[in-house]
Amino acid sequence: MSEPDLHPDTVAVHAGREGLAELGVHALPIDLSSTNPLPDIERGGDSYEALTGGRRPPEGGSNVYGRLWNPTVARFEQALAALEGADEAVAFASGMAAVTAAVLALCAATDNRHVLGVRPLYGGTDSLLAGELLGVEHTFCGMDAVADEIRPDTGLVIMETPANPTLDLVDIAAVVAQAGDVPVLVDNTFATPVLQNPLAHGARLALHSATKYIGGHGDVIAGAIACDAETAIALRKVRTATGSVLHPLAGYLLHRGLATLPVRMRAQQENARVVAAFLRRHPAVSHVYYPDDDTTGILGTQLRGPGAMVSIGLRGGYDAAERFTSRLRIFTHAVSLGGVDSLVQHPAAISHRHVAPEARPGADIVRLSIGLEDAGDLVADLEHALG
């Protein structure tokens, strides 16, 4: 059966595993080669030309060199593309490497050297654009002002939904309509392909910090972009030139993580629902940011579930946040998210520290990444920390 005929849970398990029987193996193979034998000078040169140009290895050619192409990483890319409903996917050494490649490929390497960022955004993306390190101009705006901020030289619109850390929901199709012919990149890290597929709503690129839910176990750093074939070629050219290639072992771990992604995501989401309901009743909590109470119509249409991230505002501001994070026993006080264990972080102090003050999360906001522990144990830990 073809992938469109299969449930996403089945695709998550089987995509990218084609041809394993012919290889005589069942588990995913790992090719750790840093260099590859060349069949002869001419075909080696043809292979090098194709790969440095962002294309795939030619028939009868060679993978040439690990910075250009790796079959283990390519299998993961194929699987992620299938889950996102994309032509292709391109994997990178980190999520920030993926964002950087998108800006370089679609803006810095073209005449369209303006990037429009729709706030709120992940702090790393926000500060990358604001820092003007990539030779492009930038503008920030809200989700309703995209059309007003589009310029003749705008090459890319970057947005995130659910947004980090306040879980704001943004209508992808509405932003795409405002952007017109300008490509829209959607950071899909919080939702994952299990809960949201940005390309189905008109986005050109779906970005993942694969470090998070796709890896799922806190043991890999990676990024990936699912997109059309033409954009994939441009992204691979940047990846080759900048050396932001994903290590094969990381590609293997991510591909293995995809198989359990739907199960993990749904289980963590159910824990998050329990946690959010408890926090809404607690007098020390002034606000709960969790989109299960969405009234925009995005949840249930664009977004298939509220996910497993919960942020809260604490009465008492920064001092309360300091006490809260230090008293937790099951939640680990650490950056990142999306793993099997629960984490807590203060965004204004860490991930969003370098965001401009007007866009920085409040000092009272704490972000929770809900894991796979028993929901009752998590609630008890939160109750103790808030006590």
User: 193: Cβ–Cβ under 8 A, 6 or more apart, which residues?
Assistant: 8, 80, 83, 84, 206, 226, 261
What pLDDT score was predicted for residue 2? 55
What pLDDT score was predicted for residue 335? 95
Strands 343-345 and 365-369: antiparallel
Strands in 154-160's sheet, in edge-to-edge order, are: 88-92, 223-227, 205-208, 184-187, 154-160, 114-118, 137-141
* Cα–Cα distances in angstroms (integers) from residue 75 to residues 15, 20, 262, 365, in the given order: 8, 11, 19, 39
Whether the per-residue pLDDT at 193 is higher than 60: the answer is yes
Identify the three-state secondary structure at position 12: helix
CA angle at 195 for the pair 192 and 197, rounded to the nearest 5°: 75
* Cα–Cα distances in angstroms (integers) from residue 175 to residues 31, 157, 304, in the given order: 41, 9, 19
Whether the per-residue pLDDT at 17 is higher than 60: the answer is yes
Look-up: residue for tokens 């009234």?
295
Residues 23-36 have pLDDT tens digits of: 999 999 999 999 99
Q: What is the mean pLDDT of residues 345-369?
A: 86
Q: Where are the domains of the chain?
A: 3-258, 262-386
Q: In the beta sheet, which residues pair with residue 157?
A: 116, 184
pLDDT band at 3 (very low <50, low <70, confident <90, very high): low
Active site amino acids: 67, 122, 187, 212
CA angle at 298 for the pair 309 and 363, rounded to the nearest 5°: 40
- What are the start-end ranges of the H helices in the chain? 8-14, 20-23, 41-52, 71-84, 95-103, 123-130, 146-149, 172-179, 192-195, 229-242, 248-281, 317-327, 375-386
Residue 74 is given by DSSP the state H
Domain formed by 3-258, architecture: 3-Layer(aba) Sandwich (3.40)
pTM, to two decimals: 0.96
Q: Is 145 exposed, middle or buried (0-12, 13-18, 19+ CB in 10 A)?
A: middle
Cα torsion at 33, 34, 40, 43 (round to 10°)? 100
365 and 344 Cβ atoms separated by less than 8 Å:
no
User: What would the 3-class secondary structure string for 217-286 be?
Assistant: CCCCCCEEEEECHHHHHHHHHHHHHHCCCCCHHHHHHHHHHHHHHHHHHHHHHHHHHHHHHHHHHCCCEE
Q: 72 — phi, psi (to 5°)?
A: -65, -45
Instruction: Classify domain 262-386 by CATH number.
Output: 3.90.1150.10
Share of the chain above pLDDT 70, in %: 99
pLDDT band at 109 (very low <50, low <70, confident <90, very high): confident
pLDDT band at 355 (very low <50, low <70, confident <90, very high): confident
Residues 130-150 have pLDDT tens digits of: 988 899 999 999 999 999 999
Whether the per-residue pLDDT at 269 is higher than 70: the answer is yes
Whether the per-residue pLDDT at 1 is higher than 50: the answer is no
User: 267: Cβ–Cβ under 8 A, 6 or more apart, which residues?
Assistant: 372
pLDDT band at 259 (very low <50, low <70, confident <90, very high): very high
339 and 192 Cβ atoms separated by less than 8 Å:
no
Residues 306-333 have pLDDT tens digits of: 999 999 999 999 999 999 999 999 999 9
Question: Over the chain, what is the mean pLDDT?
Answer: 96
Look-up: residue for tokens 């998070």?
212
42 and 108 Cβ atoms separated by less than 8 Å:
no
Positive or negative, the CA dihedral 304, 305, 310, 312 is positive
